[in-house]
Amino acid sequence: MAEKKIPYKIYLNENEIPSKWYNLRADMKNKPAPLLNPATLKPMTAEELSPVFCEELVAQELNNTDAYIDIPQEIQDFYKMYRPSPLIRAYFLEKALDTPAKIYYKFEGNNTSGSHKLNSAIAQAYYAKKQGLKGVTTETGAGQWGTALSMACSYFDLDCKVFMVKVSYEQKPFRREVMRTYGASVTPSPSLTTEVGKKILAEHPGTTGSLGCAISEAVEVAVTSEGYRYVLGSVLNQVLLHQSVIGLEAKAALDKYGVKPDIIIGCAGGGSNLGGLIAPFMGEKLRGEADYRIIAVEPASCPSFTRGKFAYDFCDTGMVCPLAKMYTLGSGFIPSANHAGGLRYHGMSSTLSQLYHDGYMEATSVEQTSVFEAAEKFARVEGILPAPESSHAIRAAIDEALKCKETGEEKTILFGLTGTGYFDMVAYEKYNDGEMTDYIPTDEDLEKGFAGLPNIPEE
């Protein structure tokens, strides 16, 4: 084979860290549907969004036309702290699976937040600082986003208030300490510190919380506190924009060795990692320059792509946020408490939803015991203990590699390894003890969530 010998880890040089983010929306014929003002049902204007989000982030949120947006120097400097992240050839996994497939993964876990979330956290903190704000509020599920934001706020000396989904707060006490070490305050959600929290607790006493609840609380605090704005770690267009560094670096590393993936796989909760990983590849696909199979992997217990509706819905449980058109299970949907694998959000990025609706990508759902089985196999052969979220992508990548083994096809698979599982040992313990169970919502369960969808007349 004339092919260049590919190392275990492909590192770009520091000066190859992208200097521009890639804005996928610029290349989409069907743009993602706009956010709607829930009172008027008209598209949210920049003016309407600015009490919630920083001004520059509002501009990015609404920008469907510029394909590239400069990364400010301050953010590029911070990126040097932990980027470029390695693109790893999974030689050990390929050997263990005895597959002719060639597997690559982009590993975003080598930073203290433990995930890709830092890519957007530092951008959002930067714009908040630039606007002269005192601080920001946010929600966190597994805790990765909260940790990332704490690190970013610490760097720019901003106050950081985190609402953490109660089930994660309890399962991951040490996450709270990491956030505190970076100076953040952390409140389990739903809490009695907000009006919306009190309301949710009154309606659902004993709830273990959801991202949708925590978002409502964080937004309430942001809009009622002087000098604060709300920031979000997923779902939004701006987040996918920032996360495009993942895909841009991955593509640059593959290009160095002349490698073109056949299949690109990412786990999908709100879409931040998937949207970032696939961005430049999807761009080529949209422009007709190349073709790729792109697969979103979600938990069977929270199946927004595979079993949700493509409809306008609230982004949060408290219904204080704008409406987004997306694949959704309904803002009232809360996954079963036995679900340990993250990716608990009821909806999905509008951008990815539109692309899925238009047939540019596929989606699949996997059950959590099979996810942890894949995680453990991966940990043992590749030496990285993966986050449960990331392990959804591992599961799908292994399944595709095993299909190649059957057919003898030498497909090239790229997947996103979004983070590490050091703070997920309660879930691993459950799996190690054989006490992990699966949960698939029944159609009746889903109907309850759909019943709460707002009734928006088609234009």
What residues line the site for its own copies (CB under 8 A)? 7-9, 11, 13-14, 80-82, 92, 110-112, 114, 151, 154-155, 173-174, 177-178, 180-183, 376, 379-385, 420, 422-423, 425-426, 428-429, 432
Instruction: CB nearer to its own copies: give 310 or 422.
Output: 422
Cα–Cα distance, 189 to 167 (Å, whole number): 9
What's the min distance (Å) between Cβ of 246 and its own copies?
A: 18
What's the min distance (Å) between Cβ of 388 and its own copies?
A: 12
Instruction: CB nearer to its own copies: give 151 or 213.
Output: 151
What's the min distance (Å) between Cβ of 433 and its own copies?
A: 9
Q: In this structure, which amino acid lies at residue 7?
A: P
Q: Which residue has the tokens 């979004």?
A: 418
Cα–Cα distance, 38 to 254 (Å, whole number): 44
What's the min distance (Å) between Cβ of 79 and its own copies?
A: 10
Cα–Cα distance, 351 to 240 (Å, whole number): 9
Q: Which residue has the tokens 């995680």?
A: 375
What's the min distance (Å) between Cβ of 211 and its own copies?
A: 23
What is the 3 state secondary structure string of 214-255?
HHHHHHHHHHHCCCEEECCCCCCHHHHHHHHHHHHHHHHHHH
Residue 57 Rama label (left phi>0; alpha psi -120 to 50; beta): alpha
What's the min distance (Å) between Cβ of 179 and its own copies?
A: 10
Instruction: CB nearer to its own copies: give 182 or 281.
Output: 182
C-alpha angle 441-442-443 in degrees, rounded to nearest 5? 120
Cα–Cα distance, 139 to 336 (Å, whole number): 19
SS3 of residue 367 by DSSP: coil
Instruction: CB nearer to its own copies: give 12 or 219.
Output: 12
Instruction: CB nearer to its own copies: give 183 or 454.
Output: 183
Instruction: CB nearer to its own copies: give 45 or 110.
Output: 110
Instruction: CB nearer to its own copies: give 107 or 314.
Output: 107
In 3D, which of 378, 374, 404, 377 has the Cα closest to residue 392?
Answer: 374
**408 Cβ contact partners less than 8 Å away, ≥ 6 residues apart:** 100
Residue 183 Rama label (left phi>0; alpha psi -120 to 50; beta): left
What's the min distance (Å) between Cβ of 162 and its own copies?
A: 15
